[in-house]
A and B are shown apart, each in its own frame.
Chain A
């Protein structure tokens, strides 16, 4: 047991921290969020070619770096701190794990190298209503000839307006199925939807008699639901790491501001009314970090082909815990950040609202905390009856 970063992991953290401080400052985030694309394509090129981040957890056989989910989580925490606007989350944390877990050899060989070098970005489109998890899968699939036809309207698809590759979930006679579909396939239309949090773009994806070949089907027939569950759990773990970074930065912004702001002849950071709230924020951040890191260690075993099965079996609860705690920590810290900035915390000019809105949106993505807690409750107490 060694629950701490190795020297190499520490180096990955430091290089991500300094790179992002440089390229994803407040002005860069604001420029990206005002654009329809939602990110700076030139910067994304640098991320892919210089930093090679999309390749980090892809095996070397498919053009990746062959590192694991812990390294991925390290990057995500730093991206969360800087509200980094890029296709990284959708592509590396939704589409890539879907292919790693469910892809055939041919699918992996075809798609993973392109996702690794960033020439392609992907995302996951699964929900058609406002329910959570598998209950939200309502798009329709039926077999036709040697392939499949898909219909339906998929909502809140992360970066769905610009991803090149869609992992689509739909219901058919075999239950839930997953499909790898290039976004330019005839019958697909996509529309960016305006959102409360402008730092992460969501799109509506409409499937109108979309025909795909048999080689588009991901995973074994009849096991799509299980596969989707696992993809969503990994997505929760990834998001939890990102949320931890956001919570940390909301605290750091608050510390910087309260150290500078003078009232009653002293820095407001010297008042216990402020200090105790900052201490509680740190408590939340550290607990979030612990939950996220532990879940990342579990996810690592899930993603690795030959991972420890006992550890991998912890994924459902570890993901539920990480997602619920990190969501609440981020929201708490972002809300406190507005309050402790006082009047300027309510302005568009200062950054706390960017974190507050990202926190709100992330909290709801892939299931709100109460939904995840109920899943834990089912494991402890049995089904709600």
Chain B
């Protein structure tokens, strides 16, 4: 057991920090600490340019294998990269769905031809991806997908609706779970399709959130098309691949997320010191609790990553989402309580939120998206603790 990094890793840390200091400036200065959850709608074009800048430096897909165009970094160096990126205020990554989800899934399940066609655009920061999972009737019950696809004349013809799709309007590609076997139900008969976004059969409509901003979208497929070879795995493999993809989601990027949380906590601490909230004994307890909770998120991640080599979904990984969602929801409320009466005053009209106000409101989605807290508890109970599955209602 060792909780410190090696000399070589610390040297790598300086290399990352130096590159960011040299490059996250000039035209990119305005992007510092922007984008990411709650601010995903900001500066899309500039952040895409930043992705290309990162690619030039070899800083996209740092954990991918070199054969797929990645940097092949060790887990420890990936951790360091994500930490330094977030510490420097690196903008929310426009490419994170491609790099973190689509790419690893294509690398694991794709044909050589698919890897050749699709991975380089992700590495170069020129092709962006979005995720077509949820539907109006398939939220927590994801297997209840209704979107249909039929193979006709060498093309998949897709009709249906996806929802809660981040960055749909900024993406070249969407991976879509669609029902390709007529009459099938549940996990059966689903396929994992890769669909170009820029086509007449696709309409993207932003969802106005309770924050007043829009970063999630509805995506309508009206006889949208994709080539027959844009299917990952075989028809009917969709559920298996969809679930494997969710496994890629938990990983080193959690460390970067924690650096953003750290920034938020530090802002709250500064405000507390300045406005006298630091003299309230109950707020002191909650601030200390928040600090400790964030340390524990980090320790949980380090355990998860140290054990990642042996594969499989470990207990630490299964609790991670519930753990950070709870923590961040509590931080949002703490921020408001530390701000006191000032929490009510906006930066401007009609509804211009300050950073902590935005965080407070947006945090209410943390315990919903990516699997609600309730679904997370089911997963933990059934898969980690071996408790019986919920009896299914026969329909």
**A345–B70 Cα gap in the complex (Å)?**
55
Contact of B272 among A4, A266, A325, A381 (CB under 8 A): A381
Instruction: Say whether B182 faces chain A, with CB atoms less than 8 Å apart.
Output: no
Contacts known (A293-B299, A374-B284, A381-B273); A270 close to B3, Cβ less than 8 A: no
> Is A279's CB under 8 angstroms from B322's CB?
yes
Instruction: Say whether A291 faces chain B, with CB atoms less than 8 Å apart.
Output: yes
**A275–B5 Cα gap in the complex (Å)?**
38
Contacts of A2 in B (CB 8 A): 1-2, 306
> Is B273's CB under 8 angstroms from A382's CB?
yes
Instruction: Say whether A120 faces chain B, with CB atoms less than 8 Å apart.
Output: no
Contacts of A278 in B (CB 8 A): 381, 385, 387
**A251–B384 Cα gap in the complex (Å)?**
12
Instruction: Say whether B141 faces chain A, with CB atoms less than 8 Å apart.
Output: no
A285 to chain B, nearest CB (A): 9
Instruction: Say whether A346 faces chain B, with CB atoms less than 8 Å apart.
Output: no
Interface residues on A, range: 35 or more
**A374–B281 Cα gap in the complex (Å)?**
8
A295 to chain B, nearest CB (A): 9
List the one stretch of B114-122, B189-197, B227-235, B372-380 in contact with chain A.
B372-380
Contacts of A6 in B (CB 8 A): 1
Contact of B307 among A4, A280, A310 (CB under 8 A): A4
Contact count A vs B, C-beta below 8 Å: 153
A2 to chain B, nearest CB (A): 5
> Is B300's CB under 8 angstroms from A290's CB?
yes
Instruction: Say whether A366 faces chain B, with CB atoms less than 8 Å apart.
Output: no
Contacts of B322 in A (CB 8 A): 279, 283
Instruction: Say whether A321 faces chain B, with CB atoms less than 8 Å apart.
Output: yes
> Is B287's CB under 8 angstroms from A290's CB?
no
Instruction: Say whether B199 faces chain A, with CB atoms less than 8 Å apart.
Output: no
Contact residues, B130-174 vs A (CB, 8 A): none
Instruction: Say whether B279 faces chain A, with CB atoms less than 8 Å apart.
Output: yes
Instruction: Say whether B295 faces chain A, with CB atoms less than 8 Å apart.
Output: yes
**A279–B319 Cα gap in the complex (Å)?**
8
B303 — nearest CB in chain A belongs to which residue?
Answer: A3
Instruction: Say whether B335 faces chain A, with CB atoms less than 8 Å apart.
Output: no
> Is B269's CB under 8 angstroms from A267's CB?
no
Interface size for B (C-beta < 8 A) is 51
B310 to chain A, nearest CB (A): 9
A375 — nearest CB in chain B belongs to which residue?
Answer: B288
Contacts of B378 in A (CB 8 A): 272, 275-276, 279
B315-327 CB mask vs A (1 if < 8 Å, else 0) is: 1100100110010
Instruction: Say whether B23 faces chain A, with CB atoms less than 8 Å apart.
Output: no
Instruction: Say whether A344 faces chain B, with CB atoms less than 8 Å apart.
Output: no
**A287–B305 Cα gap in the complex (Å)?**
15
Contacts known (A293-B299, A373-B288); A270 close to B390, Cβ less than 8 A: yes
Contacts of A380 in B (CB 8 A): 269, 287-288, 291
Instruction: Say whether B395 faces chain A, with CB atoms less than 8 Å apart.
Output: no
Chain A CB within 10 Å, residue with most, of B3, B305, B322, B389: B3
A254 — nearest CB in chain B belongs to which residue?
Answer: B385
B259-276 CB mask vs A (1 if < 8 Å, else 0) is: 000000000010011000
Contact of B380 among A259, A283, A294 (CB under 8 A): A283
Contact residues, A251-286 vs B (CB, 8 A): 251, 255, 258-259, 266-267, 269-270, 272, 274-276, 278-280, 282-283, 286
**A251–B9 Cα gap in the complex (Å)?**
38
Contacts of A382 in B (CB 8 A): 273, 278
Instruction: Say whether A27 faces chain B, with CB atoms less than 8 Å apart.
Output: no
B109 to chain A, nearest CB (A): 29
**A280–B322 Cα gap in the complex (Å)?**
9
> Is A70's CB under 8 angstroms from B296's CB?
no
B381 — nearest CB in chain A belongs to which residue?
Answer: A275
Contacts of B287 in A (CB 8 A): 377, 380-381
> Is B299's CB under 8 angstroms from A308's CB?
no
> Is B285's CB under 8 angstroms from A370's CB?
yes
B338 to chain A, nearest CB (A): 11
B80 to chain A, nearest CB (A): 9
B365-377 CB mask vs A (1 if < 8 Å, else 0) is: 0000000001011
**A255–B380 Cα gap in the complex (Å)?**
13
Contacts of B292 in A (CB 8 A): 291, 321, 324-325, 373, 376
A9 — nearest CB in chain B belongs to which residue?
Answer: B1
**A380–B288 Cα gap in the complex (Å)?**
8
B373 — nearest CB in chain A belongs to which residue?
Answer: A276
Contacts known (A270-B389, A276-B381, A286-B319); A311 close to B300, Cβ less than 8 A: no
**A14–B8 Cα gap in the complex (Å)?**
34
Contacts of B3 in A (CB 8 A): 1, 3, 294, 297-298, 311
A324 to chain B, nearest CB (A): 7
Contacts known (A3-B303, A283-B323); A291 close to B288, Cβ less than 8 A: no
Contacts of A3 in B (CB 8 A): 1-3, 299, 302-303, 305-306
Instruction: Say whether B347 faces chain A, with CB atoms less than 8 Å apart.
Output: no
> Is A270's CB under 8 angstroms from B4's CB?
no
A320 to chain B, nearest CB (A): 8
Instruction: Say whether A384 faces chain B, with CB atoms less than 8 Å apart.
Output: yes
Contacts known (A3-B3, A376-B288, A380-B287); A287 close to B323, Cβ less than 8 A: yes
Contacts of B323 in A (CB 8 A): 283, 286-287
Instruction: Say whether B382 faces chain A, with CB atoms less than 8 Å apart.
Output: yes
Chain B CB within 10 Å, residue with most, of A251, A274, A373, A377: A377
Instruction: Say whether A385 faces chain B, with CB atoms less than 8 Å apart.
Output: yes
Contacts known (A286-B316, A291-B299); A1 close to B385, Cβ less than 8 A: no
> Is A269's CB under 8 angstroms from B285's CB?
no
B309 — nearest CB in chain A belongs to which residue?
Answer: A4
Contacts of A251 in B (CB 8 A): 385
Q: A282-B315, A294-B3 are in contact. List 17 more A-B contacts (CB 8 A).
A: A1-B302, A3-B2, A3-B302, A3-B303, A4-B307, A255-B386, A255-B387, A275-B378, A278-B381, A279-B376, A279-B384, A282-B385, A287-B296, A293-B299, A298-B3, A381-B284, A384-B284
Pairs across A and B, CB under 8 Å, 19 listed:
A4-B1, A269-B387, A270-B390, A275-B377, A275-B385, A278-B387, A279-B384, A290-B296, A290-B299, A294-B3, A297-B2, A321-B292, A321-B296, A377-B285, A377-B288, A380-B287, A381-B272, A381-B273, A384-B281
Interface residues of B (CB under 8 A from A): 1-5, 9, 76, 79, 269, 272-273, 278-279, 281, 284-285, 287-289, 291-292, 295-296, 299-300, 302-303, 305-307, 315-316, 319, 322-323, 326, 374, 376-378, 380-382, 384-391
What 9 A-B pairs have minimum CB-CB distances, sorted nearest first?
A275-B381, A290-B299, A270-B388, A279-B377, A376-B288, A279-B380, A4-B306, A3-B302, A377-B284
